């Protein structure tokens, strides 16, 4: 055996010293300070709760969430679920949560698309396109979001009435009553098709994962697009056909002083969505630009040496590497967009903040109302963070 062989015992961790109940032991001191800090926090929280309860009892203010089962009597202009003023406060707050989610989810998708395009445009070799994108980013980020929301809302209110509505495309009308679009006449067959599409997405994910596993074993790539057609098109089409194959589009039409039929987008929601999307896209554009510039120039040069087109290089080589830099700050922008949606109260859109404020004014349950708002935004923010952290771990480089 060679004398240069390394003794494996030198890689063993040193034995841990037994814990001694002595102030000289640093572990005892660390435990003491942690217990002390936790105790102080618990004492402060207990004092605040007791003080609040005492003040509420002195002023004879009722506490608890029993008001959620009472009739709201609150009119809400738009709701994703059935709602009337005779509904309970709980249902009214549920409508507010859904309205907030409707803005946040759609806004995140649109802001990501617009911000990515603007960020890529800033790196374009076309001088005019790059300068226009740069002006957009600098201007949109320097104007407060509240002013932008008021601008878009005032602009929509200045549009002509339904009888003189703008009609840029057949079936699409834009007026001071909002945006009118053709809408699919939803039936049971469409629900079956949608469920089949979701099942198809899950099936395609499992199939692609199995094919990648087999490729790692034998090194043979296997096409996924035939399975994608079957899962994402064939399966939903089959379910839609079995459900009766309904086909019907409801077109908006002017009847009297307003439009009837189709899908209606209120001016408040439209202004809020446009303002949040354009504002957040300005920040996302800079994140995307920084992520692309973070990729080594040698990646571009090597791909161009292979004869690849710039568009292919960007999609297949640069952006996948840039995502590792883009995703973490992008998460912060998604959270900012969600929290900035609370400014909807300034233009009359009834989200969770607006409805909860009206609820606490009617019932006097201020603490409960504020707690509900905080819980809703905390839940949404944590959900976004968990999803983005999971996605970031999926695309992270794994060292071997």
Give per-residue pLDDT as tens, 306-321.
888 888 888 888 888 8
Please give the DSSP secondary-structure letter assigned to residue 88.
Answer: B
pLDDT at 344 exceeding the cut of 60: yes
Look up the pTM and report it: 0.79
Higher pLDDT, 169 or 141: 141
What's the mean pLDDT in 85-92?
91
pLDDT at 97 exceeding the cut of 90: yes
Helix, strand, or coil here: 264? strand
Mean pLDDT of the chain: 86
**Dihedral over Cα of 323, 326, 329, 335: its sign:** negative
Domains and CATH numbers, the chain: 89-143+267-395 (1.10.3720.10), 194-245 (no CATH)
**Are residues 274 and 313 in contact, defined by beta-carbon separation less than 8 angstroms?**
no
Q: What is the pLDDT of residue 2?
A: 47
Please give the DSSP secondary-structure letter assigned to residue 81.
Answer: S
Tokens 């409508």 -> residue: 95
At 397, the pLDDT band (50, 70, 90 cuts) reads: low
Q: What is the pLDDT of residue 7?
A: 53
At 61, the pLDDT band (50, 70, 90 cuts) reads: low
pLDDT at 1 exceeding the cut of 70: no
Higher pLDDT, 295 or 399: 295
Q: Roughly what angle, to the nearest 10 degrees, separates helices 89-122 and 366-395?
A: 40
Residues 6+ apart with CB under 8 A from 164: 175
Which residue, among 198, 187, 297, 191, has the nearest Cα to 249 in the 3D structure?
A: 187
Copy the structure tokens of residue 145.
């979001």
Neighbours of 204 (CB within 10 A): 18
């Amino acid at each position: 055996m060679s004398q240069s062989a390394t003794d494996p015992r030198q890689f063993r961790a040193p034995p841990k010293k037994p814990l001694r109940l002595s102030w000289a032991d640093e572990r005892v001191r660390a435990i003491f300070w942690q217990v002390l800090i936790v105790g102080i926090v618990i004492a402060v929280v207990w004092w605040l709760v007791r003080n609040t309860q005492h003040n509420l009892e002195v002023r004879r203010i009722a506490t608890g969430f029993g008001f959620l089962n009472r009739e709201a009597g609150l009119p809400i202009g738009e709701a994703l679920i059935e709602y009337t003023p005779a509904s309970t406060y709980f249902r009214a707050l549920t409508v507010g949560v859904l309205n907030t989610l409707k803005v946040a989810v759609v806004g995140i998708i649109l802001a990501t698309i617009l911000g990515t395009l603007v960020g890529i445009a800033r790196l374009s070799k076309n001088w005019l396109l790059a300068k226009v994108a740069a002006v957009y980013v600098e201007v949109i980020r320097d104007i407060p979001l509240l002013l932008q929301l008021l601008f878009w809302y005032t602009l929509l209110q200045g549009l002509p009435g339904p009888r003189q509505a703008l009609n840029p495309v057949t079936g699409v009308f834009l007026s001071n009553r909002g945006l009118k679009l053709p809408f699919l006449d939803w039936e049971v067959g469409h629900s079956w098709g949608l469920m089949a599409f979701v099942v198809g997405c899950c099936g395609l994910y499992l199939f692609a994962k199995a094919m990648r596993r087999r490729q790692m074993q034998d090194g043979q790539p296997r096409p996924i697009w035939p399975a994608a057609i079957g899962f994402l098109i064939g399966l939903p089409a089959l379910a839609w056909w079995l459900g009766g194959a309904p086909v019907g589009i409801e077109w908006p039409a002017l009847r009297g002083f307003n439009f009837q039929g189709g899908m209606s987008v209120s001016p408040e929601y439209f202004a809020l969505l446009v303002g949040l999307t354009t504002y957040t896209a300005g920040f996302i554009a800079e994140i995307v630009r920084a992520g692309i510039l973070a990729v080594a120039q040698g990646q571009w040069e090597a791909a161009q040496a292979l004869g690849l087109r710039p568009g292919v290089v960007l999609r297949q080589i640069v952006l996948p590497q840039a995502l590792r830099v883009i995703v973490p700050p992008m998460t912060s922008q998604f959270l900012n967009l969600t929290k900035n949606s609370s400014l909807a109260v300034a233009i009359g859109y009834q989200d969770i903040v607006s409805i909860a404020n009206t609820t606490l004014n009617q019932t006097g349950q201020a603490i409960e109302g504020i707690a509900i708002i905080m819980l809703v935004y905390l839940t949404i923010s944590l959900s976004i963070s968990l999803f983005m952290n999971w996605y970031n771990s999926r695309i992270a480089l794994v060292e071997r």
